[in-house]
């Protein structure tokens, strides 16, 4: 929101802006604001749509930073392909942001998986409520619900030979209002769920474990990182040793706050199988005025946020992140902004390994961010214009 207001003011009076601040925009297609940076930073080209003021000087810091990043990139083995796809919601319906749940879930239409796969999608994220999968906290997962859920997962996996599926626990780091290991479920109860799911999918390498959807208002981020570690350790101990794991941050998995909030703690999460190449940061970023994903209009292309994120990832061992939720309404502003966001994402695929649009699945046609295909098989305008061109 702050970035959009700042952008609007600069755009309204372009000649009044003398220099852009550190991490501010300083160039790009149709940019009318400042093109020079305050002392101690340099206007650095990112892509045709965006240049940003990054710390350093023209003669030393930018070149050394670039060289360091390149060296790190060449020496780090990242094997995950670029992933582009869509959330298929339904099993998460009625999960509240306090982690409470009072529904039965709705099965996403399996026909959507073949539909989207034929267009080039290779990633589906399938959210579910913790209470559906495990009605008793720390207890055995429900065989009845797992059969429903797994049938959906298998339909998604079989939609193409290269499709990945994110198993997404959609409970906001909570169970019925209480935070994991901070007044709520213990780490052992949290890990128990993941241990059981990991055992079910241990032989399927194209499963990605989404450890938790959108943690928020977490009193102790260091404690949260320990809870994430408990889940990682349990997954590997259950025999799922080849799958990628998504590490969730804070502030609703905000891409903007990862570098300064949970990210420094999550950097300490270790993978029992060795290295960090299979530990990917899970980030979300919408394009509306308050980053809530509740408005049809878009006001930013998020390139500034993603550029800062890429800088942080590169400076911390050339790590990777996946944008597992983003999206907008079927309006002109979102067609423009989302396309620019995904173009930036794809051009920085060494560190931003993919995206998943919110949302298809069991939503009806009145949902404000719907990309559910029409009854005649045609797609929503946003999907056709802003998403499809940037699929893998």
| Segments forming the whole domain that contains residue 261 | 83-390
Within this chain, do residues 69 and 172 fall inside the same structural domain, yes or no? no
Within this chain, do residues 174 and 291 fall inside the same structural domain, yes or no? yes
Number of domains the chain contains: 2
Within this chain, do residues 104 and 28 fall inside the same structural domain, yes or no? no
pLDDT value, residue 251: 98
Distance CA 77, CA 276 (A): 10
Per DSSP, the residues of 247-304 read: EE-STTTBTTTTTTTTHHHHTT---TTSSSTTEEEEEE---STTSSS--S------HH
Angle formed by the axes of helices 61-75 and 303-315, nearest 10°: 70
pLDDT value, residue 5: 27
Last residue of a domain, one of 11, 43, 74: 74
pLDDT value, residue 22: 61
Query: Residue 359, preceding bond cis, omega within 30 degrees?
Result: yes
Within this chain, do residues 99 and 224 fall inside the same structural domain, yes or no? yes
Last residue of a domain, one of 21, 49, 74: 74
Strands 83-89 and 352-361: parallel
Distance CA 86, CA 116 (A): 8
Strands 50-55 and 41-47: antiparallel
> Which parts of the chain register pLDDT below 70?
1-17, 22-24, 29-31, 45-50, 52-77
- Please give the positions annotated as active site: 214, 325
Do 163 and 124 form a contact (C-beta atoms < 8 A)? Answer: yes
Distance CA 87, CA 155 (A): 14
DSSP secondary-structure letter at 16? G
- The helix (run of H) or strand (run of E) holding residue 316 is none
Last residue of a domain, one of 15, 41, 74: 74
Token digits of residue 204? 């399927």
Within this chain, do residues 135 and 264 fall inside the same structural domain, yes or no? yes
- The phi, psi pair for 197, rounded to 5°, reads -70, -40
Within this chain, do residues 338 and 381 fall inside the same structural domain, yes or no? yes
Do 88 and 164 form a contact (C-beta atoms < 8 A)? Answer: no
Within this chain, do residues 62 and 119 fall inside the same structural domain, yes or no? no
- In 3D space, the residue among 359, 330, 331, 355 whose CA is nearest the CA of residue 343 turns out to be 355
Within this chain, do residues 361 and 231 fall inside the same structural domain, yes or no? yes
Question: Could you give the dihedral angle defined by the CA atoms of residues 215, 217, 220 and 222, in that order, rounded to the nearest 10 degrees?
Answer: 30
Within this chain, do residues 39 and 162 fall inside the same structural domain, yes or no? no
pLDDT value, residue 41: 74
Task: Name the average pLDDT for the chain.
Answer: 89
Token digits of residue 60? 């030393």
pLDDT value, residue 60: 29
Q: Assign residue 243 the CATH number of its domain.
A: 3.20.20.80
The half-sphere exposure of 18 on its side-chain side, counting CA atoms within 13 A, is: 2
Within this chain, do residues 38 and 146 fall inside the same structural domain, yes or no? no
Q: How many of the other CB atoms lie within 10 Å of CB of 205? A: 13
Distance CA 284, CA 263 (A): 14
Distance CA 198, CA 233 (A): 11
Within this chain, do residues 183 and 316 fall inside the same structural domain, yes or no? yes
Distances (CA, A) of 275 to 46, 78, 272: 28, 11, 8
Within this chain, do residues 167 and 202 fall inside the same structural domain, yes or no? yes
């Amino acid at each position: 929101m702050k970035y959009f207001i700042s952008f609007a003011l600069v755009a309204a009076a372009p000649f009044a802006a003398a220099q852009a601040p550190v991490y501010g925009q300083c160039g790009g297609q149709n940019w009318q604001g400042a093109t020079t940076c305050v002392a101690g930073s340099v206007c650095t080209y990112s892509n045709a749509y965006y240049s940003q003021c990054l710390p350093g000087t023209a003669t030393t810091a930018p070149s050394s930073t670039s060289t360091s990043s390149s060296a790190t990139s060449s020496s780090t083995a990242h094997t995950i392909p670029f992933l582009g796809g869509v959330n298929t919601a339904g099993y998460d319906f009625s999960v509240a942001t306090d982690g409470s749940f009072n529904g039965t879930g709705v099965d996403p239409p399996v026909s959507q998986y073949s539909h989207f796969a034929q267009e080039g999608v290779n990633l589906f994220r399938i959210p579910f409520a913790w209470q559906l999968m495990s009605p008793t906290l720390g207890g055995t997962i429900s065989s009845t619900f797992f059969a429903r859920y797994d049938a959906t997962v298998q339909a998604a996996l079989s939609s193409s030979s290269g499709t990945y599926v994110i198993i997404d626990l959609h409970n906001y780091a909570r169970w019925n209002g209480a935070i994991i290991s901070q007044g709520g479920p213990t780490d052992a109860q949290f890990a128990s769920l993941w241990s059981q799911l990991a055992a079910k999918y241990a032989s399927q390498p194209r499963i990605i474990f989404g450890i938790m959807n959108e943690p928020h208002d977490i009193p102790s981020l260091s404690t949260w990182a320990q809870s994430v570690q408990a889940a990682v350790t349990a997954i590997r101990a259950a025999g799922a040793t080849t799958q990628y794991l998504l590490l969730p941050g804070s502030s609703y998995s905000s891409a903007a706050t990862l570098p300064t909030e949970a990210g420094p703690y999550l950097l300490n999460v270790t993978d029992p199988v060795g290295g960090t190449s299979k530990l990917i940061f899970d980030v979300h970023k919408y394009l509306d005025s308050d980053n809530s994903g509740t408005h049809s209009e878009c006001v930013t292309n998020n390139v500034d946020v993603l550029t800062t994120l890429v800088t942080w990832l590169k400076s911390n061992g050339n790590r990777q992140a996946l944008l597992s939720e983003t999206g907008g309404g079927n309006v002109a502003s979102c067609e423009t902004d989302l396309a620019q966001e995904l173009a930036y994402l794809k051009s920085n695929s060494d560190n931003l390994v993919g995206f998943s649009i919110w949302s298809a699945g069991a939503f009806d046609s009145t949902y404000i961010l719907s990309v559910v295909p029409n009854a005649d098989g045609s797609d929503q305008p946003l999907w056709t214009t802003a998403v499809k061109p940037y699929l893998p």
